[in-house]
Amino acid sequence: MNRKSAFLTTTMGVCLTAMVCCALWGSAFPCIKIGYQLFLIDGNDISSQLLFAGCRFTLAGLLTILIGSLMNRRPLIPRKTSWIRIAKLSLFQTVIQYLFFYVGLAHTTGVKASIIEASNVFVAILIASLIFRQEKLDKHKIIGCIAGFAGVVLININQGGLDMSLSLTGEGFILLSTIAYAVSSVLIKSYSREDNPVMLSGWQFLLGGIIMILCGYLTGGSVSVWTAPSISMLFYLAAVSAVAYSLWGILLKLNPVSKVAVFGFMNPVFGVILSALFLGEGQQAFGLTATGALFLVCIGIYIVNKPASSQS
């Protein structure tokens, strides 16, 4: 293991890298909304949203493959044996996750979607521990997840829109999207033993993006307003996916799933804070409730990443 890889296995290395990923993903929440405005995509036009997402992920795949090839000083071309892993990863990480997410989001509130999405941390750790046997499930991971999840619930309650109504095409589809993402986190750790995680991320984005473009186009979607601001936003969102997922994949390859996945609780926190800055929603992000939510998330992350010797 070289020096860079060794750093990414330390608590500091995992924390800094994961926080960069979460900040990038958090910025995607307001930027997607801004992207819809720039491309004149209606909030209920799921077909156009899928087409827009397909363009984003196709471009993200091309950027990831290009950057990864330059970093490795050779083209990131999959081996014949890699294509089945790329297809499975693309199915869960891009196609199923985002198809169910966009349809589900159209039938539920953003608050509920954020809370259900945050449960992917639980699901990823459970799948890694109980199904794939990649690590052990202990009380500290459970307590840390509960604390982090409580923080996500708290910051979303602050936004309103939370009730007990449930529907299959709303909350049910968001849950299926969450499960798909959790499965993809475990798969990329497993597949990274045989393949470069950056290569996997790039090609699964490219394959998944093309599938989503076809789904959006064949169901009547359109993305027609191409201006300098809209193209710039599309490139930024593609770069977010390319950089964040590649770094996340490397972290998952080098560390236990629980040590990395728990930082996923920071995604909605960054989402709320950055939405406040970009969309003028300051009252939701900088009050006592949001501060308490951030504290709970940080406590949860600390408990899960606490050195084993101090957890006895």
Query: Residue 287's pLDDT is what?
Result: 64
Mean of the per-residue pLDDT values of the chain: 85
Query: Residue 311's pLDDT is what?
Result: 47
- Residue 285: pLDDT over 70: no
Q: Reduced to 3 states, what is the DSSP secondary structure of residue 74? A: coil
What number is the average pLDDT over the span 282-292? Answer: 62
What number is the average pLDDT over the span 4-10? Answer: 85
Helices (H), the chain: 3-7, 11-38, 46-72, 83-90, 97-105, 110-118, 120-126, 139-157, 173-191, 197-218, 228-254, 257-261, 266-279, 282-285, 288-305
Domain ranges of the chain: 13-137+163-275
What would the DSSP string read from start to end of 106-139?
Answer: TTS-HHHHHHHHHTHHHHHHHIIIIIS-SS---H
What percent of the chain lies above the pLDDT cut of 90?
42
Position 117 confidence tier, pLDDT thresholds 50, 70, 90? confident
- Residue 295 or residue 47, greater confidence: 47
Query: Residue 241's pLDDT is what?
Result: 92
- Residue 64: pLDDT over 90: yes
- Residue 104 or residue 244, greater confidence: 244
Query: Residue 279's pLDDT is what?
Result: 66
What one-letter code names the amino acid at 184? S
pLDDT tens by residue, 161-177: 555 566 787 888 888 99
Query: Residue 109's pLDDT is what?
Result: 65
Pick from 2-16, 89-103, 110-124 the range whose average pLDDT is largest: 89-103
Number of residues that make up the chain: 312
